[in-house]
Amino acid sequence: MKENIIFTEWTRNKRHLSDLKQLKRDILHNFQEHNALNKKIISMLSGGKDSSTALALAKDLGLNVVLAVHFVHKWSWSLSKEQARRIANEFEVPIVFCDITEDLKKRTNGAKGG
């Protein structure tokens, strides 16, 4: 991971984060504040940029990520599943795929457009 990245003006002003180093400090501070530095972490991993970056940061900070979870359903893109698998493998984190198709069907039964 790059040593430091300067964030955009919007992020500096609205999120009060100047750069990657500050973000890392803030993450570690939050984990320390909640006595969670040595806890096991399960990471939701969609395969997209946000969850992949979150996993990369957690691993870079030495946090104990023990499992990644990716939710799939009948209408999922196979690319997302493959990306999630690739990212998890890259960071040496076991991944499980949970099929939520039946639950989605139950929850949307009778819904408009369903």
Task: For residue range 30-43, list pLDDT tens digits in order.
Answer: 999 999 999 999 99
Are residues 53 and 27 part of one domain?
A: no
Task: For residue range 66-110, list pLDDT tens digits in order.
Answer: 999 999 999 889 999 999 999 999 999 999 999 999 998 888 887
Are residues 102 and 59 part of one domain?
A: yes
Between CA 12 and CA 21, with CA 17 as vertex, the angle to 5 degrees is 130
Structure tokens at 28: 């570690």
Are residues 98 and 43 part of one domain?
A: yes
CA–CA distance, 103 with 114 (Å, rounded to integer): 13
Are residues 33 and 43 part of one domain?
A: no
> How many distinct structural domains can be found in the chain?
2
Q: What is the pTM of this model?
A: 0.83
Instruction: Look up the domain containing 105 and give its range.
Output: 38-114
Between CA 86 and CA 58, with CA 70 as vertex, the angle to 5 degrees is 70
Cα of 91 vs its chain's centroid, Å: 12
Are residues 75 and 45 part of one domain?
A: yes
Are residues 45 and 30 part of one domain?
A: no
